[in-house]
Chain A
Amino acid sequence: MTPVSINTGRLRSPFYPRLAELDSLNTWHNWAGYSSAEALYCEDMEYFAIRNSTGVFDITPMTKYRITGPDALDYLNRLVTRDMRKIKPGRVAYAIWCDDQGQVIDDGTIFHLREGEYRLCSQERHLAWLTTAAIGFDVTVKEETAEIAALAVQGPTSYSVLKNMGIDGLDSLKPFGLIHHQIFGTELMVSRTGFTGDLGYELWIDPDKAIDLWDALFAAGKLHGIQAIGTHALDLARKEAGYLAPFEDFLPAETTVRTGRTRSPLEIGMEWLVDFNKDNFNGRRALLKEKAEGSTWRLVKLDIEGNKTADHSYIYADDKKNSDEIGFITSAAWSPVCKQNIALGTVRTPHGKPGDNVWVEVYYQREMHWNRVMAKATVVDKPFWFPARRGMTPPAPF
Chain B
Amino acid sequence: MINKYDAIVIGAGHNGLVCSALLAKAGKNVLVLEANDQVGGAAITREFADGYSVSACAHLLYKIQSQVEKDLNLNINLASDNLSTIVLSEVGEHVTYCGNKVTGVNESDQKNFAEFFKRMTRFSDLLNTYLNKPPPRLGTKNKKDLFTLAMLGFDLRRMGKVEMREFLRLIGMNIYDELDERFESPLLKGGLSLDSVLGTHLGPRSPNTILTYLFRMAGKHGTLSTPKGGMGSVTKAMSDSAKAAGVEIITNAKVKKVIIEKGTATGVELNDGTIYNSEIVVSNADPKKTMLELVGARNVETRFTHRIDNIRMKGNAAKLHIALNKLPTIKGFSESDYSQRILIAPDENYVERAFNSAKYGESSPLPVLEITFPSIKDSSLAPSGCHVMSAVVQYAPYQQKSDWNEEARTNFKNDIFSVLKQHMPDIENCCLSSEILTPLDLEKEFHITGGHWHHGELTLDQFMFVRPVAGSAQYQMPIDGLYLCGAGSHPGGGISGASGRNAAQVILKREKR
Bound pair: A and B? yes
Q: Which residues of A pack against B, CB within 8 Å?
A: 74-75, 77-79, 99-100, 129, 132-133, 135-137, 279-280, 282-285, 288
Rounded to whole angstroms, the CA-CA distance of A129 and B306 in the bound complex is 10
CB pair A78–B298 under 8 Å, yes or no, is yes
CB pair B306–A280 under 8 Å, yes or no, is no
**Is B69 in contact with chain A by the CB < 8 A criterion?**
no
**Is B304 in contact with chain A by the CB < 8 A criterion?**
yes
CB pair A135–B309 under 8 Å, yes or no, is yes
Q: Which of B260, B262, B302 has most A Cβ within 10 Å?
A: B302
Residues of A within 8 A of B305 (CB): 132, 135-136
CB pair B261–A132 under 8 Å, yes or no, is no
CB pair A282–B299 under 8 Å, yes or no, is no
Residues of A within 8 A of B292 (CB): 135-136
A-B contact count (CB 8 A): 53
Within 8 Å by CB of B303, from A75, A77, A132, A279, lies A132
CB pair B298–A283 under 8 Å, yes or no, is no
Residues 233-289 of B at the A interface (beta carbon under 8 Å) = 260-263
Rounded to whole angstroms, the CA-CA distance of A161 and B263 in the bound complex is 49
**Is B419 in contact with chain A by the CB < 8 A criterion?**
no
Within 8 Å by CB of B297, from A78, A283, A284, lies A78
A264 → chain B closest CB, angstroms: 14
Residues 398-440 of B at the A interface (beta carbon under 8 Å) = none
B12 → chain A closest CB, angstroms: 26
CB pair B297–A135 under 8 Å, yes or no, is yes
CB pair B301–A283 under 8 Å, yes or no, is yes
Residues of A within 8 A of B301 (CB): 100, 282-283, 285
CB pair A100–B304 under 8 Å, yes or no, is yes
Rounded to whole angstroms, the CA-CA distance of A132 and B304 in the bound complex is 10
| Residues A285 and B306 in contact in the complex (CB < 8 Å), given A74-B298, A135-B297, A279-B261 | no
**Is B104 in contact with chain A by the CB < 8 A criterion?**
no
Rounded to whole angstroms, the CA-CA distance of A311 and B269 in the bound complex is 57
| Residues A280 and B302 in contact in the complex (CB < 8 Å), given A136-B292, A136-B309, A285-B478 | no
Rounded to whole angstroms, the CA-CA distance of A284 and B262 in the bound complex is 9
Residues of B within 8 A of A135 (CB): 292, 297, 302, 305-306, 309
**Is B99 in contact with chain A by the CB < 8 A criterion?**
no
CB pair A133–B261 under 8 Å, yes or no, is no
| Residues A136 and B296 in contact in the complex (CB < 8 Å), given A284-B263, A285-B263, A285-B478 | yes
Residues of B within 8 A of A284 (CB): 263
Residues 338-372 of B at the A interface (beta carbon under 8 Å) = none
| Residues A280 and B300 in contact in the complex (CB < 8 Å), given A285-B263, A285-B478 | yes
CB pair A282–B262 under 8 Å, yes or no, is no
Within 8 Å by CB of B298, from A99, A132, A137, A288, lies A137
Q: Nearest 7 pairs between A and B by C-beta?
A: A136-B297, A100-B301, A100-B303, A133-B302, A78-B298, A135-B309, A132-B306
Residues of B within 8 A of A74 (CB): 298
A355 → chain B closest CB, angstroms: 34
A97 → chain B closest CB, angstroms: 9
Rounded to whole angstroms, the CA-CA distance of A34 and B188 in the bound complex is 64
Rounded to whole angstroms, the CA-CA distance of A282 and B303 in the bound complex is 9
CB pair A282–B297 under 8 Å, yes or no, is no
Rounded to whole angstroms, the CA-CA distance of A251 and B251 in the bound complex is 52
Within 8 Å by CB of B302, from A77, A129, A285, A288, lies A129
Rounded to whole angstroms, the CA-CA distance of A74 and B296 in the bound complex is 11
Residue of A with least CB distance to B300: A280
Residue of A with least CB distance to B480: A285
CB pair A282–B302 under 8 Å, yes or no, is yes
CB pair A137–B302 under 8 Å, yes or no, is no
Residue of A with least CB distance to B478: A285
Residues of A within 8 A of B262 (CB): 279-280
Rounded to whole angstroms, the CA-CA distance of A119 and B261 in the bound complex is 29
Residues 291-326 of B at the A interface (beta carbon under 8 Å) = 292, 296-306, 309
Rounded to whole angstroms, the CA-CA distance of A136 and B309 in the bound complex is 9
Rounded to whole angstroms, the CA-CA distance of A75 and B299 in the bound complex is 11
| Residues A136 and B298 in contact in the complex (CB < 8 Å), given A279-B261, A280-B263, A285-B263 | yes
A323 → chain B closest CB, angstroms: 33
Residue of A with least CB distance to B305: A135
CB pair A99–B303 under 8 Å, yes or no, is yes
B94 → chain A closest CB, angstroms: 49
